[in-house]
Structures are given as structure tokens and as C-alpha cells.
Structure 1
């Protein structure tokens, strides 16, 4: 498929992602941690495991995976206030998205009655913080669960697959993969794709911000997203050897 030429930061092609890095074991006290970088977007993901599950889940003989998300005050060009008294709706929406994305690829029965929490803290925001968070959160989750297996807490790794996320959009009439902040802030169509390593969609968020879009355009944007997901899944495998 051919894409229109467009001037993007760092000379990226329309179907090219920003440089992506997944750096594991960056925190001493977390069972699993990952610094994920999508270009200038940087998110610190840390996974911890606690005995027990939420009250409503007791006696289920199954575990639980959840997430929390926050942006540090200096993560944007204007100071973001800490969410101490009340949570922002956006933060709550994103952490719920991260949590349900991760739960899709966890066998809760095999996990047993443990709760895994993955904290995603945005150190620097330049678009795509939710997609970076999901991609890095899976790595942190994988490493934490591996530590739990090695400690003899559970018999086997309860992961059934991988999950990653990427953004797509229409900017100045061009279909683009992995939007940075400048592109995202004036996109005509804005989308986020969360998918597994088998290509199945967990969540697709798509909005015509300034213009509606056709089913044909949706298909082309999904093709872009699929290519991005494949790249991210391959990188996760490279750092974790999950499929080796």
C-alpha cells in the first residue's frame, strides 16, 4: 500500500513508527518494570504482586490484574497538577483500558488468588501515552509473573499471549501511524488500536475529530495499526523471549 508523502518529525514516513525502546528492570523494588519510549513519550511501568484479591473476587480461586495511570507534573510543557484529591476522568479511563487490555492475555485461574497491579507513570508526554503504557505494561507484567514462577508461588506462567497498542490518524488528509503530540492535536481522525500477538482486536477507539471517515478509510487505518502492532509485539519478544 502506498502512502502520501508528508513532512513528519525526524523525517518519518507516514507508515513509520517513532523509535521505540523497551528497557527492562529499571526499578529495584518492582517485581517487573519497564521504561517504554515511543519517541519523546516516556512511561515508567512497574508491576507488583500482592496476596489476595478484591472482596468481590474472593472464593473465585482466580486472580486479578489491574492498573493505575498518572502523569507526572513536569511531563508536559505546562505543569500538570498531581491528582491527589480527585482523579481526572481521562486518567481513570486510561487505567481501565490498560487493566482490561492486560487481563485479556492472563489466565486468571492459573494466576491464583493474587492481585497484580501495574503502575504506569508518564515521565514525558508527546502523544500516545496510553498506547505506550499498554505496550510497556505487558513487559512489566511478564517479568513480574516470571519472578512469581521462579519464587514457586505459581506453577507456570499464566500469560496466554501478548498485547500492544498503537495510534493511527488522519492529519492534513494523510493517514499516519503512531501520532506524536503535534500531529494528534490537530488530527482530523484519531484512533487507538489495542491488539494481541495473534492479531485479534481488544479495543479500537476511533473518533472523527474534525471530519467523518468512511469504512474504506477505517480499513486503511487498521492496516497501518496492524503493522505497528506487529512491530511492537516483535520488540516485546526480543526483550522478554516470551515466544522462544
Structure 2
């Protein structure tokens, strides 16, 4: 039995509230179990210097955690004067995931930054951030179309992410902290709705895991992201209809 009582292939309860950041062009507060991440997309009519004059846009991301998002208070990175290696790695992952499904040429010379701030952490923060960031980005792009700044939404598809791991109960989907902290192996899968793979991060915490075990985790990830893609679609449609 999993600590949460869930079946091996069951997601934690997912709740998404759009428009939470009222001043952002697009935003989504995503809750997966005890993990909550606020994703807010901001649009700027310019691009980084390395893209000026090239007729294409840019999508990037920033990631951070509130000091009491975890069991013990973590110091603000701004107070330390620099971001941790973990923070940099995660925000680059989020940005890569989003750019994988954006037609940057069709975006034109526009930059979109998606800020992902962890309000409460209970495992899978980077996965929740990617899943929520896509919604925030989609809503920001829809706003640009409504305002006549873009002829169409320059998205090539959907992207979402989920964690899987090997625990005492076997291979499981969507690890919470209790499972993640004791898993013998865990992996984060960033996948697209059309079956593409953006990135897989997998680590054996104890003994190496086998290819057969990895394939089991991959199947679980496909199951989980299929549900997340459906939730994303329903959420966006409801937001656009309101």
C-alpha cells in the first residue's frame, strides 16, 4: 500500500485555477496533492540581444520556492545573492520544455517569461511547474491573438511532466515526498501530447535499475501525462469560455 493509499498508476488529485495572478497575461495555480505552484506568463515586446533582427521570439522560465514551501525554512536565494544549482537546473528544464512546443518563428520578436513559484512542496515541484506553465503560456498566447498582436496561437502541441519511481511497493506514478525521499530510483518524464519525449531525468538512489523497470516507469508516465493533457485541455477551454 502506498502511503497515500493510491493505486500504483494513480495521480494525486489535480486542481488548477487560471487567472490567479491578475496582472499576468496568463496564469495558473496548479495543485497536485500537497504541491502547489503558481505559474505566471509575462509578455514583453522585445527579445534577448542574441535574437535581435532574426525575426523570432523567445520563451524562458524562472523558478523559485517560498522559504516555508518545505518542512524547514529555506533562506531566500535573493538574500544569498545567487541562485542554487538546483534552481538553475529546474528553470532551464521548464524553459526547454516550453520551447519544445512553441513555434518561435511564428511568435515573432516577442519574449515570454513564465515564472514558477512553489508555494507548497510535497514532491514533484518541477513536474507540476511544467504542467502549469504550459497552461499559463497558452493563455498568454491566446490573449495576444485576441488583441491582434498575433494572427494565431504559435503552439505546436502540449507538454506536461510527471514523476515515477521504484518504491517498496513497486513502480508507482506521481511520487509525493514520502515516496520520493525513500525511493530506490526515481525519474521525471517531460512528454508531449503527440507522443514526443522532451527530457527524461532518471536516477538510481541505491542499486541500478533495469531496462525492464525503466520501461515500466515509462508506461506509467504515459498514463499519467495522458490524464494531465486532458486536464490541461479542459482547463484552458473553461478559461477561454469564461
Aligning the two structures, in what range does the TM-score lie when normalised by the shorter sequence?
A: over 0.9
* 2:153 equivalent in structure 1: 157
Matches of 1:214 and 1:179, distance apart in 2: 19
Matches of 2:15 and 2:87, distance apart in 1: 23
* 2:21 equivalent in structure 1: 27
Match for residue 8 of structure 1 among 3, 15, 22: 3
Matches of 2:51 and 2:207, distance apart in 1: 43
Match for residue 85 of structure 2 among 89, 114, 123: 89
Question: Comparing 132-141 with 148-157, which one deviates more in the overlay?
Answer: 148-157
Matches of 2:63 and 2:86, distance apart in 1: 10
**How far has the Cα of 1:83 moved from its partner?**
0.8
Instruction: State whether structure 2 residue 167 is matched by structure 1 residue 139.
Output: no
- Unmatched tracts of structure 1, length 5 or more: 1-5
Structure 1 residue ranges, 4+ long, deviating more than 4 angstroms after superposition: none
Instruction: State whether structure 2 residue 59 is matched by structure 1 residue 56.
Output: no
Matches of 1:143 and 1:211, distance apart in 2: 43
Matches of 1:161 and 1:63, distance apart in 2: 17
Matches of 2:31 and 2:196, distance apart in 1: 24
TM-score of the two chains, using structure 1 as the length reference:
0.95
State the number of aligned residues: 236
Instruction: State whether structure 2 residue 186 is matched by structure 1 residue 218.
Output: no
Instruction: State whether structure 2 residue 235 is matched by structure 1 residue 239.
Output: yes
* 1:3 equivalent in structure 2: none
Q: Deviations over 1:162-200 (max 9, x none)?
A: 000000000115101000011001110010000001111
**How far has the Cα of 1:109 moved from its partner?**
0.9
Matches of 2:76 and 2:219, distance apart in 1: 37
**How far has the Cα of 1:207 moved from its partner?**
0.6
Matches of 2:94 and 2:22, distance apart in 1: 23
**How far has the Cα of 1:60 moved from its partner?**
1.0
Secondary structure in structure 1 of the residue aligned to 2:77: coil
- Unmatched tracts of structure 2, length 5 or more: none
Matches of 1:167 and 1:46, distance apart in 2: 22
Contact 2:2 2:169 in 1 (8 A): no
Secondary structure in structure 1 of the residue aligned to 2:11: coil
Q: Deviations over 1:129-154 (max 9, x none)?
A: 00000000000000001001111111
Matches of 1:67 and 1:188, distance apart in 2: 30
TM-score of the two chains, using structure 2 as the length reference:
0.96
Instruction: State whether structure 2 residue 68 is matched by structure 1 residue 74.
Output: yes
